[in-house]
Amino acid sequence: MQYRTEPSRLLKAKAMQNTTVIQAIKSAYPDLPSQPRTLLTVRQFSDRHSAFTQGAIRNLIFLAESRKTSKGIITGNGLNIALARIGRKLLIDEAKFFQWIDEQQGGA
Q: What is the pTM of this model?
A: 0.65
From its phi and psi, is residue 39 left (phi > 0), alpha (psi between -120 and 50) or beta? beta
Residue 28 is assigned to a structural domain of this protein = no
Residue 2 is assigned to a structural domain of this protein = no
Render the burial of 18-52: b for 16+ CB within 10 Å, e for the rest.
eeeeeeeeeeeeeeeeeeeeebbebeebbeeeeeb
Q: What is the pLDDT along the chain (108 residues), one digit of tens a residue?
A: 555 655 666 666 666 677 787 788 778 887 776 777 899 999 999 999 999 999 999 999 999 999 999 999 999 999 999 999 999 999 999 999 999 999 998 755
**How many structural domains are present in the chain?**
1
CB of 41 closer than 8 Å to CB of 89 = yes
**What residues make up the domain containing 81?**
39-105
